[in-house]
């Protein structure tokens, strides 16, 4: 089965952390964190429609300028989700430059500031010199940032001495139609199947009527069939992929609970492992995780695979030690 999410870590384990996630079959990508982006192909950055910023420490936000530079003059809207303060952070970045001669430029940043209770939005249109437009009222935040027909993005606030967002990308249920069985029922493929899949994903009642298409000498005709009946005969429904990104968090009881809830049964947990367990005091002081703690979280959350990032430069000569330590604690595959 081919996955919708095609993730790759940015900048290796010692560089600024971040995740580029191409969406297969779509000319579109998601970006988690805005660290150094200068090594990323501009064609990739131009696919980004949504950016999720964990927090605005410089190693997670300095890439905003590069993204701005690449996207400037393009006709696109980039949504940017971040923790409390993100609207002022973006405004301050944009006000650091001079914006005349940009009338007619169509680029817009839509910024969503996520507090534990609500999401506040502001727009920054390039054509209006990126002057801030506040949108009101705020919407309630109940753990979900974005609902797309193909996937959903969830977030949780972690304690990094400041609020730091962790993210989960959850692919919608996968629905596969068996062409042989479809043929066996005398039905033909067509746009009606898209509507059929949409009804299944929205958990419509089994009795919902579907207009199924069948070939007829006079052209295409439709037959009324119950949704549940048709599902049982022609469709296989499986869970979609779940990716979770956790960075910059203290190993506190509350953070542990939130991370485990977000990453539960995930296919891949991308997790920071800044320090070795021997330097745990330093990790606690800096509100970061050790490799062992990342491994314990992965085990408790029952994830299938753990991918480490954000190593401290002090381990430049011995990155293997971090993998070994995480792997021992996890007992599963670590990359
Ligand atoms: Zn940080
Ligand atoms: Zn960091």
Query: Taking residues 220-241, what's their average pLDDT?
Result: 90
Residue 1 has pLDDT above 80, yes or no: no
Q: How confident is the model at residue 201 (pLDDT cuts 50, 70, 90)?
A: confident
CB 113, CB 82: distance < 8 Å: yes
User: What is the CA angle 173-21-89, rounded to 5?
Assistant: 115
Residue 18 to residue 60: CA distance in whole angstroms = 8
Whole-number Å distance, alpha carbon 52 to ligand 1 midpoint, is 14
**pLDDT surpassing 70 at residue 134:** yes
Q: Is the dihedral of CA 180, 185, 189, 194 positive or negative?
A: negative
Q: What is the pLDDT of residue 101?
A: 86
**Whether the Cβ atoms of residue 316 and residue 324 lie closer than 8 Å to each other:** no
CA of 291 to the centre of ligand 2 (A): 15
Distances (CA, A) of 31 to 50, 87, 99, 153: 6, 18, 26, 12
From 6-20, 161-175, 187-201, the region with the lowest mean pLDDT: 187-201
CA distance linking residue 286 with residue 274, whole number of Å = 10
Strands (E), 83-192: 108-114, 118-125, 133-140, 144-147, 151-159, 163-171, 174-177
248 CA → ligand 1 middle, Å: 5
* Contact (Cβ atoms closer than 8 angstroms) between residue 188 and residue 220: yes
- CA atoms lying within 13 Å on the CB side of residue 193: 13
Q: How far is the CA of 14 from the centre of ligand 2 (A)?
A: 11
CA distances from 248 to 134, 162, 207 (A): 29, 10, 48
CA of 222 to the centre of ligand 2 (A): 56
Residue 186 CB-density burial (10 A; 0-12 exposed, 13-18 middle, 19+ buried): exposed
Assess contact for 238 and 173: CB atoms under 8 A: yes
- 11 alpha carbon to ligand 2 midpoint, in Å? 13
Distance 310 CA to ligand 2 centre (A): 7
Residue given tokens 């972690």 in the structure block: 158
Residue 260 above 80 pLDDT? Answer: yes
**Could you say which ligand is closest to the alpha carbon of residue 35?**
2
Q: Is the pLDDT of residue 219 over 80?
A: no
Measured in Å, residue 218 CA sits from the centre of ligand 2 at: 65
The pLDDT value given to residue 218: 77
pLDDT grade, residue 207 (50/70/90)?
very high
> 304: CA distance to ligand 2 center in Å?
24
Rounded mean pLDDT of 15-28?
93
Q: Which ligand is nearest to the CA of 250?
A: 1
Could you tell me the distance, in angstroms and rounded to a whole number, from the CA of residue 218 to the centre of ligand 1?
Answer: 66
CA of 48 to the centre of ligand 1 (A): 23
User: For 303-331, what is the mean pLDDT?
Assistant: 96
Task: Kindly report, residue by residue over 261-286, the tens digit of the pLDDT.
Answer: 999 999 999 999 999 999 999 999 99
* Interatomic CA distance for residues 145 and 82, integer angstroms: 10
Q: Ligand 2 centre from 196 Cα, in Å?
A: 44
Whose CA is closest to 57, among 287, 285, 270, 222? 287
pLDDT at 104 over 90: no
Distances 82 to 139, 217, 289, 293 between C-alpha atoms, Å: 15, 57, 21, 25
Which residues make beta-bridge pairs with 272?
309
CA of 289 to the centre of ligand 1 (A): 11
73 has a pLDDT exceeding 90: no
Q: Average the pLDDT over 80-101 and give the result.
A: 96
Classify 186 in phi/psi space as left (phi over 0), alpha (psi -120 to 50) or beta: left
Residue 221 banded pLDDT, cuts 50, 70, 90: confident
**pTM, whole model, 2 decimals?**
0.89
* pLDDT above 90: residue 149: no
Q: Find the ligand nearest to 312 CA.
A: 2
Question: Could you tell me which residue, 83 or 192, shows the higher pLDDT?
Answer: 83
* CA 306 – ligand 2 centroid, Å: 18
| Predicted local confidence at residue 126, as pLDDT | 95
Spacing, Cα 285 to ligand 1 middle (Å): 12
pLDDT of residue 240: 92
Q: Measured in whole angstroms, how far is the alpha carbon of residue 269 from the centre of its chain?
A: 12
């Amino acid at each position: 089965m081919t996955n919708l999410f095609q993730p790759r870590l940015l900048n290796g384990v010692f560089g600024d952390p971040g995740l580029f996630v191409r969406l297969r079959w779509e000319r579109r990508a998601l970006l988690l964190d805005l660290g150094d982006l200068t090594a990323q192909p501009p064609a990739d950055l131009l696919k980004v429609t949504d950016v999720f910023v964990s927090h605005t420490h410089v190693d997670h936000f300095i890439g905003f300028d590069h993204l701005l530079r690449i996207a400037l003059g393009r006709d696109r809207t980039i949504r940017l989700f971040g923790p409390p303060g993100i609207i002022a952070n973006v405004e301050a970045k944009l006000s650091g430059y001079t914006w005349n001669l940009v009338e007619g430029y169509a680029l817009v940043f839509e910024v969503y500031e996520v507090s534990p209770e609500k999401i506040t939005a502001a727009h920054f249109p390039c054509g209006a010199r990126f002057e801030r437009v506040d949108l009101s009222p705020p919407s309630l935040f109940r753990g979900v940032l974005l609902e797309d027909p193909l996937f959903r993005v969830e977030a949780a606030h972690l304690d990094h001495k400041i609020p730091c967002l962790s993210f989960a990308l959850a692919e919608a249920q996968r629905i596969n139609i068996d062409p042989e069985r479809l043929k066996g029922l005398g039905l033909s493929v067509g746009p009606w199947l898209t509507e059929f899949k949409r009804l299944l994903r929205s958990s419509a009642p089994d009795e919902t009527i579907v207009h199924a298409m069948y070939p007829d000498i006079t052209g295409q005709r439709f037959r009324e069939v119950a949704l549940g009946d048709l599902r049982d005969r022609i469709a296989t429904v499986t869970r979609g992929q779940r990716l979770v990104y956790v960075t910059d968090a203290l190993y506190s009881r509350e953070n542990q609970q939130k991370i485990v809830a977000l990453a539960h049964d995930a296919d891949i947990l991308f997790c920071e492992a800044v320090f070795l367990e021997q330097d745990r005091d330093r990790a606690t002081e800096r509100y970061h995780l050790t490799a062992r703690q990342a491994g314990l979280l992965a085990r408790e959350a029952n994830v299938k695979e753990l991918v480490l990032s954000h190593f401290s430069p002090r381990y430049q000569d011995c990155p293997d030690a971090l993998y070994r330590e995480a792997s021992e604690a996890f007992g599963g595959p670590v990359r």
